[in-house]
Chains A and B, each alone.
Chain A
Amino acid sequence: MAPVELWELTAAEIAARVHRREVSAEEVWRAFEERIVRVEPVVHAYITLDSVSGLMQAREIDRRIAAGEEVGPLAGVPVAVKDNICTADLRTTCASKMLADFVPPYDATVVARLKAAGAVIIGKANLDEFAMGSSVENSHFFQTYNPWDLTRVPGGSSGGSAAAVAAGEAAFALGSDTGGSVRQPAAFCGIVGLKPTYGLVSRYGLVAFASSLDQVGPMTRDVRDAALTLETLAGYDPLDSTSAPGAPRRYTAALTGDIHGLRVGVPKEYFGSGSEPGVERAVRGAIDRLAELGATIEECSLPHTEYGLPAYYIIAPAEASANLARYDGVRYGYRAEDARTLAEMYCRTRAEGFGSEVKRRIMIGTYALSAGYYDAYYLKAQKVRTLVRRDFDAAFARFDVLVTPTSPTVAFKVGERAANPLAMYLSDVFAVSANLAGLPALSVPCGLVDGLPVGLQFIGPAFGEEVILRAAHAYEQASGGAQLRPSLEVR
């Protein structure tokens, strides 16, 4: 067996070696830089690479280790940050022409926490513009490709983050998940993606999309890294008014490998229609594996599942239309030239600065909130949201976790769905309900179909990260899933 390269290691392994002084943070940094030079020309995961200050961060960690100072639990670990999360003095574009030159004056709380834990920001990862999309085809800049098959999408909207981790261009990444944007690309790229409970992770410095749904989450090589990085990311933040109070937990302690007696619900609405046969076979096989590990498996029902996606496509655009009102060409971002009046400047700035999917969602949202339609659309969707939540409340009275496919398909070809917004939206049909109900949900690889990864989704009760991490970890250990890597051939 060939010696394992540094860029192939998990965040936990890298931090352990750096702590033991077997390798310096600078050596780790250089190994990832070399890997990026090799594969980035075909993957295109990053909008901005931060080679100078990243190297300085790595050297600072080495200096502190040499001086015998404490370094954090992620010391020397290179991380990719989705480019809708603010990084001080490092441009943050949201993959939009609107913010192509925007340089934030402050770090998002999650970025500040990662830096304090010793992680080194390696670059800003590509996404669908303002996180609206499922394929990165809506990036203003360029397409990111799936490391498993360079003719296919990496998923989205956190597709750059997922591709960077799968291709060995970062040890882990941050994504954001409003309606599946961490979990669906994690599934498509064969990595682990966790959307935490609404309020568990601070959103201060995350560019707002749909504020009742948005969460930041880790995207990692394995479940242990998801637990380890969540220990750094989670916690109350007075700068985010939706941040949940509560003491930090040791999520890695939950990874016992033992799921005897775990009550697993299998919601029937997520099976039997809509999924590719290979995806459903892989997920059924994974459920059999959970039973072999001692979990009790029982079918259940979430009767309002089919209404989750239409409710989402009112609530998310409505909130987006309000959040994106701030892009007016006055305080930051793009401004149209030579406008004669302020009103003309607003209208042309937004027309020229936003791409077509962002405009489409602003239009849906503005329509749904406009006079005469509010009750019929937005209020109706919020009521259906209550019913979706109640379905989960009833299920979690009987079960510890629920398992479903993460997405109905494996990664699709670039261009295959780009012309049909509704077909694209269906890629998140199994993901949005967890956002509507604010619940934690995690995607873990459960095998390959025709050489492409399939994602298994665990959904837990509110603040039940420990139980979904434990279940996913036990499954991963039993299946050897964390060993799945794309054989990215680079000349």
Chain B
Amino acid sequence: MNISRADVAHVAKLARLALTDGETARLADELSRILAYIEKLNEVNTDDVPPTSHALPGQCAPLRDDVPRPGLTQEQALANAPERADGSFRVPRVIEG
């Protein structure tokens, strides 16, 4: 599998990662090699094999009663915020203009 720099730039945009040109070039090379190794999976016939999303299907998330319980206080929730204002998280403007 050959991953181009344009592919890397597209995926980086999806992942919200600002990459330098150097990182983009290096990742194109590394991802190509890693995905070539992963394509070993195509040697395996998986027709009619169901996918596993939970390692122990018998243990899948049991439901509990929906009962309110105490959570974090507003102060606790904001304690690690990089920037806060008026009891809220403060962020740069969302709409450009």
Residues in chain A within 8 A of chain B (CB atoms)? 101-103, 105-106, 197-199, 212-213, 238, 241-242, 244-245, 304, 306-307, 310-311, 313-314, 321, 325, 328-335, 339-348, 350-351, 354, 356, 359-360, 362-364, 366-367, 370, 377, 379-387, 389, 421-422, 435-438, 462
Contact = CB atoms under 8 A, between A and B. Distances in A.
Nearest to B51: A382
Interface residues of B, number: 53
Nearest to A379: B51
A307 B41 contact: yes
Contacts of B41: 307, 310-311, 314, 380-381, 384
Instruction: Give the 7 A-B CB pairs with smallest separation, nearest first.
Output: A438-B55, A382-B51, A332-B80, A335-B82, A383-B46, A347-B18, A351-B18
Interface string B65-78: 00000001000110
A198 B37 contact: no
B85 interface: no
B19 A351 contact: yes
A306 B82 CA distance: 45
Nearest to B73: A105
A341 B49 CA distance: 46
A364 B27 CA distance: 10
A341 B96 contact: yes
B11 A370 contact: yes
Query: Interface on chain A toward B: helix, strand, loop, or mixed SS?
Result: helix
A212 B54 contact: yes
B34 A347 contact: no
Interface in B1-60: 3, 7-8, 11-12, 14-19, 23, 27, 30-31, 33-35, 37-44, 46, 49-56, 59
Nearest to A314: B38
Interface of B: 3, 7-8, 11-12, 14-19, 23, 27, 30-31, 33-35, 37-44, 46, 49-56, 59, 61-62, 64, 72, 76-77, 79-83, 89, 91-94, 96
Given A244-B59, A421-B30, A436-B55, A386 B50 contact: yes
Nearest to B97: A341
A36 B23 CA distance: 39
A290 B6 CA distance: 55
Contacts of B91: 330, 342, 345
28 contacts: A103-B79, A105-B76, A241-B62, A244-B56, A307-B43, A310-B37, A325-B16, A328-B16, A330-B82, A333-B82, A341-B94, A342-B91, A350-B15, A350-B18, A351-B18, A354-B17, A356-B23, A363-B8, A363-B12, A364-B35, A366-B11, A367-B11, A367-B35, A370-B11, A382-B52, A383-B44, A438-B54, A438-B56
Given A212-B54, A367-B31, A438-B56, 9 more contacts: A106-B72, A198-B59, A314-B38, A362-B17, A363-B8, A382-B52, A383-B49, A387-B46, A438-B54
B67 to A, nearest CB: 10
A285 to B, nearest CB: 32
A380 B3 CA distance: 19
Nearest to A344: B92
Contacts of B72: 105-106
Which among B37, B43, B77 has the greatest number of chain A C-beta atoms within 10 A? B37
Contact of A366 (B15, B52, B55, B82): B15
Contacts of B46: 380, 383-384, 386-387
A201 to B, nearest CB: 13
B17 A347 contact: yes
A386 B52 contact: yes
Contact of A383 (B15, B50, B76): B50
Given A212-B54, A380-B41, A329 B82 contact: yes
A389 B64 CA distance: 28
A422 to B, nearest CB: 6
B57 to A, nearest CB: 9
A435 to B, nearest CB: 8
Which among A340, A366, A367 has the greatest number of chain B C-beta atoms within 10 A? A367
Nearest to A327: B16
A387 B45 CA distance: 10
Contact of B92 (A307, A310, A341): A341
B84 to A, nearest CB: 10
B53 A212 contact: yes
Contacts of A242: 54, 59, 61
A346 B55 CA distance: 33
Nearest to B56: A438
Contacts of B79: 103, 105
